[in-house]
Amino acid sequence: MKSALFIDFDNVYSALRRLDLHYAERFARQPLDWLRWLTDRLPLPEHAPTGSNTRRLLVRRCYFNPHVYQRFRPHFNRAGFETIDCPPMTTEGKTSTDIHMVLDMVDLLQHETRFDEFIVFSADADFTPVLRKLRRSDRRTTVLAVGFPSAAYQASADLLIDTDTFVRDALGENDDNDHLRLPLRPSTYFSSTAIPLAQPQQETRADQQDVRELATQIIRTEVANSDLAIPLARLASKLPTQVPGLDGASWAGQGSFRRFVEILNLEPLLLDWSHSGGYLYDPRRHACPQPPASKNHLLDSTDPQLLQQVCDATDAPHLTRAEFQGLWNAMATDLAEHPFHLRETGKRVRDLCRIAQCDISREDVNWVLRGLLMCGHQFGQGQDTPQQLATQMANNLEKLCAREELWLDDGQRSAVRQWVGADVASIF
């Protein structure tokens, strides 16, 4: 499929930086890595041309502010990009990136080469009209929008690249690969001494096969001895202690537990990653795991219809008030003991919630953490009490609702704040 890629560098880099500096640096300094993922592994959007199975990036354009990001230009030049300077045009620092990108996309619509797909890396909702114009011209559109893109912007794209998927698969930031993380000094990325850091533990092919076979045997035994579906989190903690040579960091060279377990021959057992960290079960003996009813119904609220509207508009997790209480307590406890790191904090908070018999998924925890980061909360600055976190969450929800033109009156805002635990008569 013939594709054209347009990157609003300032938008993507700054959004990734708010999540984790390493995410932003990998994106900016190693574009060839995520380009290979984009061309070879990212699924094509629906209604791609018949016979298409991969992308050809015929156009690669990166637009950035040279006054701030000049240091990244060589990396994109080496990756075959055209780099377009978009310096500030106002005293507030506003650049002309968006108009440059729109004009270039419209220009390519008239090009003698018919581009099948336009890929846009930006969360700026100003691109919504051009996405719709491309759709009217029967072109596919794929968007990477880091953060919380508007509903209209998401709906205007044929394929929306999930932020977690991009970080995990395109940038190589797996949950368990901190030992592979490169230092942030630019020179390190190109020194010969950096190469061994990117290598998994030295295991022979035969050793890895033995590890997989023993892991498969242990997993099958666990499932056979259980009357219920097995939480995959339990297996992830147990296998490294029972399988000699299985490192819980490299996972036999696969980089993550999920990738490791998915390459095992477990038929007829089935994997279900849809909620609560995932389950493994035998369809002949076990019922398909179901999410708790509270995930689908806000039964403990005095205005469940309002809260359903809020969740639909913002993609906020369907948690009950009690679950939010457990979440804030777990976050406050963890942040009092550990420095904040998006992935590691998310895992520890999820585990603390489960210990407290509060079944909150890793995806829900991450949504809340990303929302707090995107709205400007600074972890580790003495503002991490349960009440303060709940208040920040409520403020973020109100802003997201306003962006989606879901206007809340005073009574509705009070109901939302009560729901997440930010009301004056706090549950804490």
**Is a pLDDT exceeding 60 seen at residue 90?**
yes
Q: Above pLDDT 70, what percent of the chain?
A: 86
Residue 277 is predicted with a pLDDT of 62
Question: In the 3-class helix/strand/coil scheme, how is the chain assigned residue by residue?
Answer: CEEEEEEEHHHHHHHHHHHCHHHHHHHHHCHHHHHHHHHHCCCCCCCCCCCCCCCEEEEEEEEECHHHHHHHHHHHHHCCCEEEECCECCCCCCECHHHHHHHHHHHHHCCCCCCCEEEEECCCHHHHHHHHHHHHCCCEEEEECCCCCCHHHHHCCCEEECHHHHHHHHCCCCCCCHHHCCCCCHHHHHCHHHHHHHCCCCCCHHHHHHHHHHHHHHHHHHHHCCCCCEEHHHHHHHHHHHCCCCCCCCCCCCCCHHHHHHCCCCCCCEEECCCCCCEEECCCCCCCCCCCHHHHCCCCCCCHHHHHHHHHHHCCCCCCHHHHHHHHHHHHHHHHHCCCCHHHHHHHHHHHHHHCCCCCCHHHHHHHHHHHHHCCCCCCCCCCCHHHHHHHHHHHHHHHHHHCCCCCCHHHHHHHHHHHCCCCCCCC
How far is the C-alpha of 251 from the C-alpha of 258, rounded, in Å? 9
Please state, in angstroms and as integers, the Cα–Cα distance from residue 382 to each residue in 332, 385, 423, following that order.
10, 8, 20
Lowest mean pLDDT across 33-47, 343-357, 370-384: 343-357
Q: What confidence tier does 193 reach under pLDDT thresholds 50, 70, 90? A: very low
Residue 175 is predicted with a pLDDT of 53
Q: What confidence tier does 291 reach under pLDDT thresholds 50, 70, 90? A: low
Residue 196 is predicted with a pLDDT of 35
Residue 191 is predicted with a pLDDT of 34
**Is a pLDDT exceeding 80 seen at residue 295?**
no
Q: What confidence tier does 298 reach under pLDDT thresholds 50, 70, 90? A: low
Residue 180 is predicted with a pLDDT of 39
How far is the C-alpha of 287 from the C-alpha of 422, rounded, in Å? 38
Q: What confidence tier does 357 reach under pLDDT thresholds 50, 70, 90? A: confident
Please state, in angstroms and as integers, the Cα–Cα distance from residue 227 to each residue in 33, 46, 219, 223, 287, following that order.
44, 40, 14, 8, 10
Q: What confidence tier does 233 reach under pLDDT thresholds 50, 70, 90? A: confident
First to last CA, the chain: 55
Residue 61 is predicted with a pLDDT of 97
What digits encode the pLDDT tens for the residues 112-168? 999 999 999 999 999 999 999 999 999 999 999 998 888 899 999 999 998 888 998
Q: What confidence tier does 185 reach under pLDDT thresholds 50, 70, 90? A: very low
**Is a pLDDT exceeding 90 seen at residue 335?**
yes
Strand-pairing partners, residue 2, are 56
For the record, the structure tokens of 299 come out as 């039964």
Q: What confidence tier does 332 reach under pLDDT thresholds 50, 70, 90? A: very high
Q: What confidence tier does 302 reach under pLDDT thresholds 50, 70, 90? A: low
Mean pLDDT, range 384-403, rounded to an integer? 93
Residue 392 is predicted with a pLDDT of 94
Q: Please provide the average confidence, as pLDDT, over all residues in the chain.
A: 84
302 vs 339 pLDDT, higher one: 339
Please state, in angstroms and as integers, the Cα–Cα distance from residue 136 to each residue in 52, 111, 125, 145, following that order.
21, 16, 18, 21
Residue 239 is predicted with a pLDDT of 87
Most confidently modeled of 127-136, 237-246, 403-412?
127-136
Q: Which of 118, 98, 99, 102 is nearest to 58 (CA)?
A: 118
Under 8 Å between Cβ of 309 and 406: yes
For the record, the structure tokens of 186 come out as 């630019």
For the record, the structure tokens of 426 come out as 């706090």
Residue 404 is predicted with a pLDDT of 87
Residue 300 is predicted with a pLDDT of 53
